[in-house]
Structure 1
């Protein structure tokens, strides 16, 4: 008997970490990225440091193509600003 594999089962987990410091950086930059084991470690570090995580597979795919320490391109400013606003609201809610 053949079983179909669920569509996302073969996809490896991916993660991208961004850093942004208002006033000192022109735009957010990629500070970590990876898939599989590396992605799991990025997510664990975020969890250990209580850094909110936003799941957006399409955005991770695009950001994953950038080099480490590369600033995000202007065409991603709007979507990344929405993620940063999400993180800010979560952080403010915890305080």
Structure 2
């Protein structure tokens, strides 16, 4: 019997380092959301640094991230994930309105 020490996302992050994915959605062009950058470890750290430097709001959702990391860059995000992405976009819009 094999027991995995990666039983949750917190432990996985401690062992593997951070993960990050960047999505782009431009409602003015009526495009589908796309993954434009993703990575783990050093690449994720760099993505997070650039987001902070450019004052880009970040949202943490482990399940969504797990799905986005496995996608190819430029690939349209599947409609099954739209509800989660919509919630995140609404939160970001509200945060930007309040600042």
TM-score bracket, shorter-length normalisation = 0.7 to 0.9
**Does 2:12 match 1:11?**
no
Show the counterpart of 1:42: 47
Task: Say which structure is richer in helix.
Answer: 2
Show the counterpart of 2:30: 25
1:41-61 Cα distance to aligned partner (Å, 9 max, x none): 111111111111101111101
Structure 1 spans left out of the alignment, 5+ residues: none
Structure 2 spans left out of the alignment, 5+ residues: none
**Does 2:84 match 1:79?**
yes
CA RMSD of aligned residues (A): 1.7
**Does 2:64 match 1:59?**
yes
SS at match of 1:7: helix
